[in-house]
Amino acid sequence: MNGQLVDRVRLRLATGPDSAGDSELAAVAGAESALLLDTAALSELSGQLRAELTGAGPLESLLADPAVTDVLVNAADSVWIDRGRGLERAGVSFESDGAVRRLAARLAAQAGRRLDDAAPFVDAMLADGTRLHAILPPLVAHPTISLRVLGRRRLSLPELVMLEAMSPDLAELLTALVTARLSILVSGGTGTGKTSLLAALLSSADPGDRIITIEDAAELSIDHPHVVALLARSANVERAGAVQLAELVRQALRMRADRLVVGEFRAAEIVDLLAALNTGHSGGAATVHANSVADVPARLVALAALGGMDPATLAAQAASALDVLVHLRRDRGGVRRVDQIGLWPRLGSGLGPELVWTRAAGLGPAAAELRSRLADAETELPFLLQAVDRP
């Protein structure tokens, strides 16, 4: 895209009508291009200009790909995408770092935020639900943009089985956990599919359940007839008006929720959700970043400390509020899989979850206890646990 042409079109549009449709943009493009163009070429040029002036510029075609979940701009000539199998280099580039900066500033403005030397980074959500993060020099060598496309596709458990995220028997076990109204915590690293799995699990909940979700970005896309989504709000340019996840958890308690769901534990909201789960709100769920089942307790301790809860109190609250931990891992080939399932111990048994199942070794020592909890909930036992003796 010729930068001078874009600047001329931008100037003409700025001094013309308040808005320009496709025909007006094509006319301006034709007038400014100083070229003889046929209808097809003029349409292509006007489309490129629209992407540059009002869309995502060179990233427009990448974001239009339904398989793309992340678009990352490290520099003008370094653009990467993720189609669910790991990062790969994209075949697009920008003319200069200045072009990257202009796009980042325009996307931030569309989200009602500012991005300039005085505010050199931004974390916001675009109108279509895409998550935007951008950061400018000198905090980074080149203007950098990270776009995460959220809620584009709802994946069911059968689809996750087809994608090799789990076996059919494991999907049956996870469905039984939801049916029994056990509280589920999904853990894993960044990009392992925690939100996709949680949304698929909640889609199998009783249609009569009222599900209240609390998130700071609209990532959960649940195929269920009764979902109310609460979204946290960042401070505006005057650094006022912020609404945190913890406050939304408290609000959800007054909304007749059958299942309370926090998209991701990030800070003190863990204290409020554990308190809620201990007051009769069974079947709740959340996700948390962790590298393994064994690492989750330390992560929860750190988050609870932000809410003023000490480790001993956290252990007592978690013992009665949490039931199952499902851990996801992304293998070297980029495939996201359920890797471990743990059972949260009852009070007095310690903070760490005990293994029910691992992809490497199969059933673990806590499988019998999980069978017992499912039986107590009068839930049909899944095939994986039928051969396990009840303790």
Instruction: Assess whether the previous peptide bond of 391 is cis (omega < 30° from 0).
Output: no
Q: Which pLDDT score, from 0 to 100, does residue 366 have? A: 92
- pLDDT band at residue 205 using 50, 70 and 90 as cut-offs: very high
Residue 276 pLDDT more than 70? Answer: yes
Rounded mean pLDDT, 334-347 = 87
Q: Which pLDDT score, from 0 to 100, does residue 3 have? A: 53
Residue 99 pLDDT more than 80? Answer: yes
Instruction: State the chain's mean pLDDT as an integer.
Output: 82
Say which residue, 21 or 238, is predicted with more confidence.
238
Q: Which CATH number fits domain 157-386: 3.10.20.600, 3.30.930.10, 3.40.50.300, 3.40.50.720?
A: 3.40.50.300
* Residue 160 CB burial class (10 angstroms; 0-12, 13-18, ≥19): buried
Rounded mean pLDDT, 278-294 = 84
pLDDT tens, residue by residue, 115-169: 999 889 998 888 777 889 999 999 999 999 999 887 566 788 999 999 889 999 9
> What whole-number percentage of the chain has pLDDT above 70?
82
Residue 45 pLDDT more than 70? Answer: no
Q: Which pLDDT score, from 0 to 100, does residue 217 have? A: 76
Residue 297 pLDDT more than 80? Answer: yes
Reported as half-sphere exposure (CB side, CA atoms, 13 A), residue 362 has a value of: 4
The beta strand positions in the chain, using DSSP E, are 70-75, 78-82, 87-89, 121-125, 131-135, 144-148, 184-188, 211-215, 227-231, 259-262, 285-289, 324-330, 336-343, 354-358, 362-363
pLDDT tens, residue by residue, 47-98: 454 545 456 788 988 888 888 888 999 999 999 998 877 789 998 999 899 9
Cβ pair 192, 339 in contact under 8 A:
no
Q: Which pLDDT score, from 0 to 100, does residue 111 have? A: 83
Bridge-based pairing state of the strands 131-135 and 144-148: antiparallel
pTM for the full predicted model: 0.75
Rounded mean pLDDT, 214-221 = 82
Residues of the chain with CATH 3.30.450.370: 55-152
Q: Which pLDDT score, from 0 to 100, does residue 42 have? A: 47
Q: Which pLDDT score, from 0 to 100, does residue 74 have? A: 96
Residue 2 pLDDT more than 80? Answer: no
CATH architecture entry for 55-152 = 2-Layer Sandwich (3.30)
Residues of the chain with CATH 3.40.50.300: 157-386
